[in-house]
Amino acid sequence: MIHSLNVVMAQLNPLVGDIQANTQLVIDQSLKAAAELNADIILFSELMLSAYPPEDLLLRPSMELRISDGLNRIRQFSKETAAVRDLYIVLGYPSVQGEHIYNMAGVIHQGELIAEYAKQCLPNYQVFDEKRYFDAGTEACVFDINGLPVALTICEDIWEAGPTQQAADQGAKLMLNLNASPFHVGKAAERKQLLSERALQSNMPIIYSNQIGGQDELIFDGGSMAVDSDGTLRTSAPLFEEGLYFAEVEVTRSAEANTISCRVKPGETTADLSEHAAAYQALVLGVRDYVNKNGFPGIALGLSGGIDSGLTVAIAVDALGKDRVHAVMMPFKYTSQMSLDDAAEQAEILGIKYSVIPIEPIYNTYMAALEDEFSGTERDTTEENLQARCRGVIMMAISNKKRLMVLTTGNKSEMAVGYATLYGDMVGGYGVLKDTYKTLVFELSRYRNTISPAIPVRVIERPPSAELAPDQKDTDSLPDYDELDRMLELYIEHDYSADAIVAEGFDKETVYRVVRLVDLNEYKRRQAPMGARITPRGFGRDRRYPTTSGWAIADK
C-alpha cells in the first residue's frame, strides 16, 4: 500500500526574543500550510519560538515562562483545529528542565506534545556559543506518524555522523532536521553535499528546514531542502526568500514483509545562486532586517563618490527603497570635482534624497580652536582624521534629528589594517561592508550594475582614494588590494603565520607590516559597528583577539 505524506518546510524570519509574535507566526503559518498545501507535517526552524541566537536572553528567568505560554497557545490551537486538519507541528524552542537548558525540538499533535528531542551536538566555534547555554542531549527521538518511524535532529547534529546513525539504528525511516544555519559565501553548496552524505549513510530521506533573516551580524539564508535516501536532492527552497515550501514523501507499506519505507518524490528545485548574487542578497537582507527590526524609518550615509559608499547606497536602496535613503556629500578642499559629479549622478540614478554639506567651515573652526594645542607641530594624519571626524559629527546630527540610522561604508580590507578613523568614517550603527574585502567590493559593484544601472562606471574604474590629502591614493599607504586581500585572507580566514604567508610568494617586509597592522588595530574593530557576516570568519563573533597583547611584538 502506498500513500503520501505532505511535509511543509517553514522557511521563516522570526525575531529574536519576541516569543509572542513568533508563536503567532507558528500558528498562522500552520493554518496556511494546512489550508493551502494540505500539509500533514509542518517543519519549523531551530529555536523557532525564541529565534536564533537568543544569547543571554536564555539566562533570563522569564524566558521559561514565555516559552511555556507560547507552547500552550500552540497546543490549544492544535487541539481546536485537529478535527479540521490532522497536522503534526514540529518546532524548536529552549527547554528548561531543572538545572538544565536544552536546545529542544518538539512535536505537537492534536493538542499534545507527543515527542521531544534535545540537540546532542552543541557547536562552540566560529559564531556559535551553545555550550555557554545548553546541555547536550544523549538520546535519539523516533516517533510514529501513521506507522512511519520519524526521527528528529537539530542543525549541528547533521554535521556529525553520530546522531543520524543513532536514529537509523533505532529504526527511523525519515529524518526531520531543524536548522538555524548562518550564511557565508559557499555555505549552500556545503549543506547540500553534507545532506547527501548523511542520507546515503543512513539510507534515510532527510528534510531540512532553515531559518531566514538578518540577526545582528548573522545572516540566515534559508535554502531548505529535501534529500532522498540515495542522496539525491528532490526539492529545494530559494535562498533569501521567506515562505512555505512543499515536499511530498511517498510511504510504502508491505503487509507481507511487514515493512515500511519512504522516498521523497521529485518536486521543485531552485537554481543555485552565483557567489556574487548570494553575497549581494545577503548584504541586502542584513541591512533590511537590521533597520526594520530595530524600528528605524530609514538610513543616512555619507556618499563620497567612491566605490565603497557607492555600493553601500545601492544595497541600502535595494533593501529599503529609495524613499528611506538619505545620502550626504560632505566635500572638503581636497574633494575632486569628479567625486562631486559621480556622487550627484548616483543619487540621481537611484532617485534618493541627496544633500551637500561642505565641511571646510567646520574644519576651520576646529583648527582655530586647536591652534594653541597644535603650535610647533607638523601637519600629519591628525588633520586628515579631523576631516573624517567633522563628517562623523554631521552624520550623527542628522541621525539624531531624523531618527535615521547611519550606515558606515568601510570594507573588510580597511577594517583589517585600520585604514579608518575612529569617531569619523567609523561612526554609525551598521557596517554594511564590514566583512566584504575590497576586491569583492569591486566585483559586487559590477554585479549590481548587471541588474540595473546603480553605480556610475567611473566610480568603479577610478583608483580608490580617501581624498584626505592632495592627490591621495589608497596605494600610497597600502599594497595593491589584490595583493593585500590575498594576504589578509590567509592571515584572517586561514590562520597562516606571517612566515607562512611569505612562503606563498609575498614580500617579507610587506607581509610583516600588514600582519602587524591587523594585530595593532583590534582596538578599532572593537569600537566599530557590527556588520553583515558573509565570510567564514568575520570580525566580531568569529574572531576574538585581545586588544591588549604582546603577541604581535613577540611573534610576527
How many C-beta atoms lie closer than 10 Å to residue 537's C-beta?
A: 18
Quote the CA–CA distance of 35 and 32 in Å, as a whole number: 5
From the candidates 116, 119, 156, 524, which is the catalytic residue? 119
Those residues whose C-beta lies under 8 Å from the C-beta of residue 95, and which sit 6 or more positions away, are 67, 101, 102, 104, 106, 116, 118
The DSSP letter of residue 239 is B
8 A C-beta contact, residue 58 and residue 101: yes
What are the C-alpha distances in Å from 138 to residues 52, 128, 157, 206?
A: 22, 20, 11, 20
Q: Among 161, 170, 115, which Cα is nearest to 140's?
A: 170
Q: From CA 116, how far away is CA 133, in angstroms rounded?
A: 19
According to DSSP, residue 471 is labeled T
Residue 152 grid cell = 528528529
Task: Return the axis-axis angle of helices 481-488 and 508-520, rounded to nearest 10°.
Answer: 60
Conformation bin of residue 477: beta by default, left when phi > 0, alpha when psi is -120 to 50: alpha
Q: Name residues whose C-beta falls within 8 Å of residue 504's C-beta, 6 or more positions apart in sequence.
A: 486, 490, 496
119 part of the active site:
yes
Q: Which spans in 403-546 are helix H?
A: 412-417, 438-451, 457-461, 481-488, 498-502, 508-520, 522-526
Catalytic residue flag (residue 155): yes
From the candidates 46, 156, 248, 489, give the one annotated as an active-site residue. Answer: 46
Distance CA 510, CA 140 (A): 53
C-alpha to C-alpha distance for 282 and 491, rounded to whole angstroms: 24
Amino acid occupying residue 378: E
CA atoms within 13 A on the CB side of 152: 34
Comparing CA positions, the residue from 291, 281, 296 lying closest to residue 221 is 281
Query: Which entry of 116, 121, 130, 155 is annotated as an active-site residue?
Result: 155
Active site residue 121: no
CB-count burial class (<10 Å; 0-12, 13-18, 19+) for 182: buried
Counting every residue written for the chain, the total comes to: 556
Where does 82-216 have alpha helices with state H? 130-133, 161-169, 187-202
Residue 257 Cα distances to 150, 203, 204, 252, 313, angstroms: 20, 19, 19, 11, 64
Just list the catalytic residues.
Answer: 46, 119, 155
